[in-house]
Amino acid sequence: MKCRSLIAFLLVLCAFTLTGAQEGIGPPDSISADSTRGDSILPPAPVGNLKAWDTDDDHGHSVTLEWEISSDDGAGQNSVLSYEIFRWTPFFMDTLKGIRNSLAQTEAYIAELQAFLPRAKKRLKVHRKGEPGVGFADSVAFYVDTIAASERWLPLHKDRLGQLRRERAQAIDMIPQAHKSYPEQGEWRKVGTALSGQTSYVDAGVKEKVSGDYLADHADYYYRVDAVTADSTIRTSSEIAGPVQSYGQFFNTGRIPVFVAVIVFTFLTVFFVTKARRGADLYVRPLAGIEAVDDAIGRATEMGKPILYVLGLGTAADIGTIASFTILGRVAKRVAEYQTKLIVPCYDPIVMTVAQEIVKSAYLDAGRPDDYYEDIVYFVTQSQFAYVAAVNGTMLRELPATNMYMGVFFAESLILAETGALAGSIQIAGTDQVAQLPFFIVACDYTLIGEELYAASAYLGREPILLGSLKAQDYAKAAVMVLALLGLIAVNLDWTAFTDLFVVAK
Amino acid sequence: MRRQIPLMLVFIFGIFMIFQYFVPHESSEWIYEFLLDWIYIIGIFALALGIWSLIRVSVAKIKAHKSGWGYPIITLAGLFLMILFGFTGYRDGSWGFYFMTAEGLSNPMFRHFFDYIMIPIQSTMFALLAFFIASAAYRAFRARNIMASLLLVAALVVMLRFNPYLGPIGPVIADTASWLLNVPNLAAKRAIIIGVGLGMVATSLKIILGIERGYLGKG
């Protein structure tokens, strides 16, 4: 019994090995629907209704294929293992490939020459300085000749590089023309594989013209799909789909829900801002963290200790950091009025530059430009934990009365906040990073949660125009709550028409 | 004019960025990538300003003999030594300065300073987090009132879910912990995320429309 199992296993192994070896053979050049090499496997039924079209909502360079599976895929003979996708490719593409290869070789050669020349010159210098001895004259002469030859060759190769680049650009422009020669002067080439049961494939090229995977827009492409069996030579080709051209779209229809939401929200914001401008009294609920800012600055003044303001690890492009800039401006103005010391260590040099300008303007607005000095805001490092170490050191040495953490924070949030708590400072934090909120809530006296950070500048200034945008946010949140409730009902009642309205493409 | 030009630039590029999100065309992508490149360019110049700021602050501290004035000496020594090692390399049997190639990255002193000083120090700072989590958890979970007690109970349930010695109540604890994480916790998190999203859009609009000017140094 054991022996029979072993023989059966060996046979299966042989079959797999043979299949693997056959897979190594390239795809057949022609459609082989009548190919009957294997005794037991018959050619499968072809895929049906093959369609090809430009991929929707993209930048182009991509074609989508769709088909109905072969009747021998999962049924009938059940012999289809995969589908191979072929695109008709003109021989001209080989010429382009040749130009690309020559270009790559020339570029590599020039880089090598450019790296070699300074080294050779250095060696020559060393040889000339050395004591004349056996072979001295030979080595000096060798380096002199080699350098002279390299310097002669380098411009020639650079000219050749320029010429090849021009040839490549011309060849790329000719791709659409070359595809018009179908079915002459070209052949079918495999571009991908889909597993059995799959009914679609996206032939996505890249948009970079220098890449070998570049798929030109506005060229006529033709496709066929082969249903492939375990014996890869036994296959059946589909009908040919094409010509199809890829091109980029000017509007991503998959993002219509976002577009509508942006329009509605913009309208709400403009409406409430206009209303606020006309003098409408808008109520916004008080935020304890914001109201504590003035008290915290007053406390620092009474104690004669500084205020530490940390802008976080965000860049100047993060909304959290931009919101923090606004709060810093308000805080700096109060600090200047009370003549308290402010310390702003920065993680990002761009953030530092912007923060310096903000603090300078705040001191000017407060009528105390003489109190401002550039080192109030300074750069520390762009290494996360080195920054934490520096700020913690400042906290423990300067013992600030108040620490403010406003902006984008990551793992350093708790280390900073706990050190501040140990130093006995009043701490006010605000971040839009949900994962860091629990740490700040635990270790700080006041925390601005998420959007409260963005709202803080409006609260601090109490300017009606800024308060108007807060009202718009409140109404948008109410709308989201209503829609979430409706979505809940729709999902449970299987109203896909409603839920599909909110599906957004990437 | 000093304020008008930045506001105008913010408006133009802000509106472009909004439309860019809805336009997948290659030309739109090209402009987007071109604009993003500017961030790197500005960043490089700003880094020089940053390093200058660091040197100035450190030198001022050393000169004034402020408390902990020894640390800036180490900071400056580290800064200049790493620059020196980073540009020094060994090639073709001799040492030299290499400003355009990456020889400096394989300089043994550069590697040793990075691998045996920088990385252990950074790991030490990160490891402090474990102790800070313990002290923060102790403060947070003290049962001072009903809400704090609820927090304590929830935290205990979540912490116990991986305990293998709970016997028959193990699965109950695990299910309860999963429910706590996936229902009330996730609901609160999503509410915050929706609020953050709306806040971001509102703040962006305020900046693009010139309503919010705090980042320019004027409230």
A309: phi then psi, degrees, rounded to nearest 5: -115, 120
- Identify the pLDDT of residue B137: 86
Token pair belonging to A172 = 């790329």
Closest CA to A187 of A28, A323, A388, A44: A28
CB of A268 within 8 Å of a chain B CB? The answer is no
Q: What percent of chain B has pLDDT over 90?
A: 53
* pTM of the predicted protein model: 0.81
% chain A with pLDDT above 90: 57
Contacts of B189 in chain A (CB under 8 A): 434
User: Is B60 part of the contact surface with chain A (CB cutoff 8 Å)?
Assistant: yes
Exposure b/e, A119-150, CB count within 10 A at least 16 = b: ebeebbeebeeeeeeeeeeeebeebeeebeeb
Residue A274 has pLDDT above 50, yes or no: yes
Q: Which of A74, A91, A73, A93 is nearest to A83 (CA)?
A: A73
What DSSP letter does each residue of A289-340 carry, written as one string? HHHHHHHHHHHHHHHT--EEEEEES--TTSHHHHHHHHHHHHHHHHHHHHT-
CA–CA distance, A322 with A456 (Å, rounded to integer): 12
> Could you report the per-residue pLDDT of B18-53, keeping only the tens digit for each?
999 999 999 999 999 998 898 889 888 999 999 999
Task: Answer whether residue A130 shows pLDDT above 80.
Answer: no
Closest CA to A380 of A372, A391, A371: A391
**Binding-face residues of A in 323-382 toward B, CB within 8 A:** 323, 325-327, 329-330, 333, 346, 348-350, 352-354, 357-358, 360-362, 365, 374-375, 378-382
Structure token pair of residue A157: 């190769």
- Could you give the CA distance from residue A309 to residue A311 in angstroms, rounded to a whole number? 7
Rounded to a whole number of angstroms, the distance between the first and last alpha carbons of chain B is: 17
A312-334 pLDDT per residue, tens: 999 988 999 999 998 999 899 99
Q: Is B205 in Cβ contact with A123 (below 8 Å)?
A: no
Query: Which domains are delineated in chain A?
Result: 94-178 (1.20.58), 254-280+468-502 (no CATH), 288-462 (3.40.50)
Which A residues in the span 474-493 are in contact with B, Cβ-Cβ below 8 Å?
476-477, 480
- Asked if A85 contacts A194 with a C-beta cutoff of 8 angstroms, the reply is yes
Contact indicator for A307, A333 with CB cutoff of 8 Å: no
Q: Do B136 and A439 touch (CB under 8 A)?
A: yes
Q: Looking at the partner chain, which of A119, A266, A361 has a beta carbon nearest the beta carbon of B218?
A: A361
Q: How far apart are CA B158 and CA B164, in angstroms?
A: 13
Evaluate the CA torsion angle B158, B164, B165, B171 in order and state its sign.
positive
- Return the percentage of chain B with pLDDT > 70, whole number: 97
Q: Are A324 and A493 in contact (CB under 8 A)?
A: no
Arithmetic mean of pLDDT, B189-212: 89
- Beta pairing class for A342-346 and B94-97: unpaired
As a three-state string, the secondary structure of A458-502 is HHHHCCHHHHHHHHHHHHHHHHHHHHHHHHHHHHHCCCHHHHHHH
